[in-house]
């Protein structure tokens, strides 16, 4: 069996645009030609490769073919970029990064990539579970994730461990103080979204059976602002609270309470100079953050979803 390049390109266009008609417009062919190519591809592999829905999405077999198509496009773009005498060739590097890494140490990666004239980087800010799906489908080449188990076809390496501290304003603590402690079951909290379980892990340690009033603020800057203004308590990175703890604007809830989240770099196992260079930049940025209190050398831990 020999896969036809135009069939793979067509499948990729369908997945990227969401419909057969949109793929036809991108490829400058008729919708009938797109349909015929997909049918020919499915006949070649003996399986359905795309779910005809709105939007269209690849089947499990289709995901493997989409990955292949993206890998071929990456390698082709690297060759064309190297051959471009005018320096006009650009290699597309889509990656997934969790929100807290984006707002802290990952910025150093942008500083490095800014000096690469032959690269464009596209960042998907996604949680752990979605990152794995993006890797499986081939939508991203690499991801910062808390999952140490590599997606099929990917390699993984430890980066840093992010330390979160439960904090609140002094006024909020006083409102819910009970003797020498606080009423964890009544004091409102802030979480990033319904996948953010960091606060819940702290509640579990204190054996809180009830559900406190819970605010959702799915924005990194907004989340920190919500905690600092007293909307509720929340678990923030040490770098996000150091100044506020020093000034007394925030207080730590429990001298020993914290949550450590190991982060890993997952990338396609593909011989790509540009992807190697990006991985080196991510590795260097993580290493630079490691000595700080916001990030420590990663070590295995039970999984959970990072912000």
Domain that holds residue 46: 1-88
Q: What's residue 303's pLDDT?
A: 39
Last residue in a domain, options 64, 88, 112? 88
Per-residue pLDDT tens over the stretch 236-246:
999 899 999 99
Residues 79 and 213 both lie in one domain: no
Do residue 174 and residue 153 come from a single domain? no
3-class state of residue 234 by DSSP: strand
Residues 112 and 149 placed together within one structural domain of the fold? yes
3-state helix/strand/coil string of 195-226: CCCHHHHHHHHCCCCCCCCEEECCCHHHHHHH
Pair 54, 62: CB distance under 8 Å: no
Averaging pLDDT over each range in 66-75, 122-131, 286-295, which range is the top one?
Answer: 66-75
Q: Which CATH number does the domain housing residue 154 bear?
A: 3.40.190.290
**179-204, pLDDT tens digit by residue?**
889 999 999 999 998 888 999 999 99
Question: Is 1 in the same domain as 83?
Answer: yes
Mean pLDDT to the nearest integer, 108-125: 92
Whether residue 253 is contained in a domain is answered as: yes
In a domain, 306, yes or no: no
Burial class of residue 195, CB neighbours in 10 A (0-12, 13-18, 19+): middle
In a domain, 274, yes or no: yes
Please give the tally of structural domains in the chain.
3
Residues 174, 252 share a domain? yes
Report the pLDDT value the prediction gives residue 298, as an integer from 0 to 100.
39
54 DSSP assignment: S
Checking if the pLDDT of 282 tops 60, the result is: yes
Kindly report the average pLDDT of the chain as a whole number: 88
Burial letters for 220-236: b for 16+ Cβ neighbours within 10 Å, e otherwise?
beebbebbbebbbbbbb
Instruction: Name the pTM for this structure.
Output: 0.74
Domain at 83, CATH number: 1.10.10.10
User: Of 268, 41, 24, which is closest to residue 142 (Cα–Cα)?
Assistant: 268
Q: Within this chain, do residues 250 and 277 fall inside the same structural domain, yes or no?
A: no
């Amino acid at each position: 069996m020999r896969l036809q390049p135009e069939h793979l390109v067509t499948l990729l266009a369908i997945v990227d645009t969401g419909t057969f008609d949109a793929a036809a417009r991108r490829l400058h062919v008729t919708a009938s030609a797109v349909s015929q190519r997909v049918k020919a591809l499915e006949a070649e592999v003996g399986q359905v490769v795309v779910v005809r829905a709105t939007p269209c999405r690849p089947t499990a077999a289709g995901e493997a073919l989409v990955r292949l198509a993206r890998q071929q496009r990456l390698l082709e773009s690297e060759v064309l970029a190297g051959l471009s005498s005018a320096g006009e060739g650009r290699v597309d590097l889509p990656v997934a990064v969790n929100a807290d890494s984006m707002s802290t140490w990952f910025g150093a990666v942008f500083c490095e990539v800014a000096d690469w004239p032959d690269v464009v980087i596209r960042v998907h800010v996604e949680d752990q579970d979605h990152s794995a799906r993006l890797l499986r489908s081939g939508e991203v080449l690499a991801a910062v994730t808390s999952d140490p188990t590599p997606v099929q076809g990917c390699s993984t390496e430890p980066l840093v461990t992010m330390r979160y501290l439960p904090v609140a304003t002094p006024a909020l603590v006083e409102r819910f103080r009970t003797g020498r402690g606080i009423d964890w079951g009544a004091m409102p909290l802030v979480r990033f979204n319904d996948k953010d379980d960091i606060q819940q892990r702290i509640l579990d340690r204190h054996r809180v059976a009830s559900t406190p009033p819970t605010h959702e603020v799915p924005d990194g800057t907004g989340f920190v602002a919500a905690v600092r203004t007293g909307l509720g308590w929340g678990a923030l990175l040490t770098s996000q609270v150091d100044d506020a703890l020093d000034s007394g604007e925030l207080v730590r809830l429990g001298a020993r309470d914290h949550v450590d989240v190991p982060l890993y770099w997952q990338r396609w196992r593909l011989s790509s100079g540009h992807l190697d260079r990006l991985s080196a930049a991510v590795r260097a940025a993580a290493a630079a953050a490691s000595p700080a209190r916001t990030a420590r050398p990663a070590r295995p831990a039970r999984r959970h979803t990072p912000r």
